[in-house]
Amino acid sequence: MQLVYLTSKKYPSSTADHFFVRNMAEVFSKILSEDFTFIVRQTGPELKSINVKVLYAPSRVRTVYYFFSLPFFIFRRHNCSDCFFFSNDPYLLSVLIFWRKIFGFKYKICSDWHQIFQDWRDGYIANNSDFLISTSERLKDLIIKKTGLQKNKIFVAYGGVDLSKFNPNTDIPNLRKQLNLPLDCILVGYVGFYKTMGMSKGVDMMIESLRFIPDKKVKMVFVGGKPNEIEEYQSLAIKNGVEDRCIFLGVVSQELVPKYEQTMDMLVIPYPDKPHFRDWGFPMKVYEYMASKKPIIYSNLPIIGEVLEDCAISFEPDNPRDLADKIEKFNSEPKEGIDWAEKALEKVKNFTWQKRAEKITNFLTRN
């Protein structure tokens, strides 16, 4: 089996999707060795351990460039009938489908689904893929409903985490000093971008929930904001009279993310009940939060509950008072929080990047 991970990504980059793709490429490379190729538009030092093929093209013409260059790349490969192209890029998948129809190429196409597009791409890509990977059961059901595919053609492979990045014996007081965070407060954390595609990810609701928490030692730390977003939410905190209980931090390196997550007393996934978050926006932070061995409070959306329902507690989406109640519950009953955190840590051992890649390669080779 030869696997070609087809992307048009440029490295280095710090976006969540770049991070997801890079981690998958690293573990595919370990499993398949010389039978794996990672196609990017620009490489960087973080890809040095991977067999990389660069197809450079300016952003404004990248789809056109790939359209004409991919057939030459395919013609130069041997044993194309044993080759699987893997991608989550709808336009590159469409190019692969087109040229396979034109030239009768024998390669297989595996589309990695992270969302529904609500246009021609859904049916065209799904019905012309040999295999489909979904990041949740919820998304799998939506793909089936949208395209009429058989269930056995779609495999659910949840996201992953690198457990080696998390130290279970972390000295929390010392870590807080390093990160310049208060030592004598209960820190409720959110780590991730504040918004996606212009939509709030629930940071505003978290800020509002502080009004219902009388214990002034409870503070919230928000890690991952852009300057304009930080300014926006600082104004909201002032409006709610909780500015002295909110700490807003910008985007940090991937190396610092586990440190911030582990230094909190509890972590929140505050996603609103909107189609993007309800139907396919599965947060990668779920697995990081679980690995941090901290109690997790999540917005009660079924897609998140697929993983967290038996190892975290939920609150009613968009309800700041209910979130406040759950925060106070963990604050007043720390032993219960520890129990939930230990359950999450044990469960996340089944959600590593290595295991995700192994499950996908097994799915491809047994069908």
Q: What is the mean pLDDT of residues 51-76?
A: 90
pLDDT digits (tens, 9 = 90+) for 228-281: 999 999 999 999 999 999 999 999 998 999 999 999 999 999 999 999 999 998
pLDDT digits (tens, 9 = 90+) for 8-54: 999 998 788 999 999 999 999 999 999 999 999 999 999 999 999 99
Residue 77 has pLDDT above 80, yes or no: no
On average, the pLDDT of the chain sits at 95
**What pLDDT score does 125 carry?**
97
**What pLDDT score does 85 carry?**
97
| Domains along the sequence of the chain with CATH | 2-160+352-366 (3.40.50.2000), 163-348 (3.40.50.2000)
pLDDT digits (tens, 9 = 90+) for 148-201: 999 999 999 999 999 999 998 899 999 999 999 999 999 999 999 999 989 999
Q: What is the mean pLDDT of residues 307-335?
A: 97
**What pLDDT score does 78 carry?**
59
**What pLDDT score does 317 carry?**
98
Residue 79 has pLDDT above 70, yes or no: no
**What pLDDT score does 3 carry?**
96
Residue 90 has pLDDT above 80, yes or no: yes
**What pLDDT score does 62 carry?**
87
Per cent of the chain over pLDDT 70 is 99
What are the CA-CA distances from residue 109 to residues 151, 157, 361 (Å)?
A: 17, 17, 13
Residue 210 has pLDDT above 90, yes or no: yes
